[in-house]
Amino acid sequence: MLTVQEVLQRKYFECSKVVAGNTGLSRVIKWIHIMEVTDVKQLIKGNELLLTTGVVLKDNEKGFLQFVQQLSDLGVAGLCVELGMYIKEIPESVRKLANQLDFPLIIFEEIVPFVEITQDLHTVIIHHQYDILKQLEDYSQKINKYVLKVNDKVKILQYMQKYLNVNVFFEINTGASLSIPDKKTENSKDCIVKLGDKYRASNELNIFDQAYGTVYIYSERKEITDLDILILDRTVVTLSQFVLRDLYIEEKLESEHRKFFEKWLEGKNSNEEMGYFLEEIERNLTQNGWLVMIHQLRKENKKTDLTNYKINLRQSLQKEGFYTFIVEQSHCLIFILSDLLQENTYKERMKRAMDEIVNQYRLDTLFAVGKYVYNYNELTESYQTAQDSLQIRMKNMKLSYFYDELTLYHMVKVLQNNSILMQMANEKVEKLRLYDRKHNSNLIQTLNMYLQCNGLKKETAEKLFIVRQTLYHRLEKIEQVIGSDFMNYENRLCLEIMLLMTKQNQVRTKE
């Protein structure tokens, strides 16, 4: 990169002199501007070398001080002032400020051709940019050839580390991280935080618009250059393709294990088979909690690339601390999840993952989560309870994802299987339903809300958006249809369950 120090060696700077800010001569120059105004906030991007005759600074020491401070704050590389017609000398206060800011202040003691200076330096900068592009292209070709020979993403990062001679830190969102050269993760993080922006750079690695991790490069000895940042970007692109390839291979292998997973869900695998399989993947998996999640596929899901979709789902769950196996069936995806973190946070973590998918795909997405079990051999119980929960949620998407938060609805499901009890419930509720149809009224809706509000008339009227007098009239009609004692404890309890039984029995027809 072209620096202020290097510019001072150029032909048109023979009559120049650095009068302040000598400690800032290593500042990088990316462009040259001729400026004859003091308000430059909208004109400056950073790393410019400014040339001025000082016409607006003449006899304005306060304005000169503000100008230098503004340029330093905006990251300008330096200021060149032509002495003569407008400014005879640089005020001492301005020199002192420039020294404090390490801001190079350069004077021309003779009249110099500003246009020829800009042409000369722009030519140098453009040639330098061309050299950067050549180096970047050379690096791209080399790393693309190298990737074909390796089967480990660490080696790709090691290749970049040696090429740039910087430190590399790869932070993966699932929790695993690595440093090159080998360092403790905590040490690398601390070092990156402490370094200034000039000594570090980062680039996020995304898979299907989801953040997979972040690659950092940093150095305590040298500033990170534009070429370093471009090479980091190119490496991250190469790395993302490599990771994506690995994920596709992983999905393919998992499809080949489908029969094994199905036997596992049915409890037909032996302890020896299960132990061997899990320890081959990761020894600690056998010690974790387990659960099953079922994702009912809808028409919108089936139109998407399921492999990409599964990779996205897997990434969301792994980011929240779940090791994931996926069984693909014709109408659903079954997730076998090993909880790598604390049990008491699993619901919160799973909900974040599921909400992320729902928000990303904007689908009427149906999930159900089974019972949390403590041994991989108990997975059948989690699978069965997930299936039951799915049937309940299919009829009411607003209900909880989790089996143990649907206890009442599981009880109702059992009651629905009893034909006598179901008949009694239908007879009770049918009276209200017939009255509503005949008189175009809303007694069932009113009764549901009245029970939900624990018999509080004011709150019920507010939630139904009716006046209390209208509510009183409807409650009188309800008493006439089902009896005046419907709010007695036992009657109320039975009535609430009957309403749930008949409501849950109405299978949702919307696909």
Confidence band of 365 (pLDDT split at 50, 70, 90): confident
Which two tokens mark 174?
């699932």
**If we measure between CA atoms, which residue out of 401, 420, 389 comes closest to residue 504?**
389
Structure tokens at 248: 């596709």
For 16, the enclosing helix (H) or strand (E) is strand 16-20
Short-list 193, 164, 403, CA closest to 294: 403
User: Could you give the residue ranges of the DSSP H alpha helices within 149-285?
Assistant: 153-164, 185-194, 226-256, 258-265, 271-281
State mean pLDDT over 254-270: 81
Of the spans 86-90, 92-96, 411-415, 444-448, which averages the highest pLDDT? 92-96
The DSSP secondary structure of 94-119, one letter per residue, reads HHHHHHHHT--EEEESS---HHHHHH
102-116, 221-235, 482-496: range with lowest mean pLDDT: 482-496
- Identity of the residue numbered 124: V
Q: Smallest Cα–Cα separation from 188: which of 217, 159, 165, 211?
A: 217
Q: Which helix (H) or strand (E) holds 449?
A: helix 443-452
Q: Between these two residues, 365 and 266, which has the higher pLDDT value?
A: 266
Neighbours of 142 (CB within 10 A): 12
Model confidence at 362, in pLDDT bands (50, 70, 90)?
low
- Check if the beta carbon of residue 370 is closer than 8 Å to that of residue 385: yes
**Distance from C-alpha of 99 to C-alpha of 467, rounded to nearest angstrom:** 76
Q: Ranked by mean pLDDT, which of 33-37, 97-101, 243-247, 396-400 comes out on top?
A: 97-101
Which helix (H) or strand (E) segment holds residue 202: the answer is strand 200-207
Rounded distance between C-alpha atoms, residue 370 and residue 351, angstroms: 13
pTM of the model: 0.52
Mean pLDDT of 75-100: 91
pLDDT, tens only, 275-284: 888 877 776 7
For the cut 90, the answer to whether the pLDDT of residue 370 exceeds it is yes
Domains contained in the chain, CATH given = 4-121 (3.40.1390.20), 151-250 (3.30.450.40), 257-400 (3.30.70.270), 414-504 (1.10.10.2840)
Using alpha carbons only, give the angle 31, 34, 37 rounded to the nearest 5 degrees. 125
464-511 pLDDT tens trace = 898 888 888 888 888 888 877 777 776 677 777 777 777 755 543 333
288 within 8 A of 362, measured Cβ to Cβ: no
Cβ–Cβ under 8 Å, residues 467 and 461: yes
**Tokens encoding 314:** 């897997």
Distances (CA, A) of 257 to 42, 251, 263, 264, 330: 60, 10, 10, 11, 16
CA distance 332 to 267: 20
Cα 425 to Cα 158, 241, 354, 439, 448, distances in angstroms: 69, 59, 35, 22, 15
The per-residue pLDDT for 441 is 85
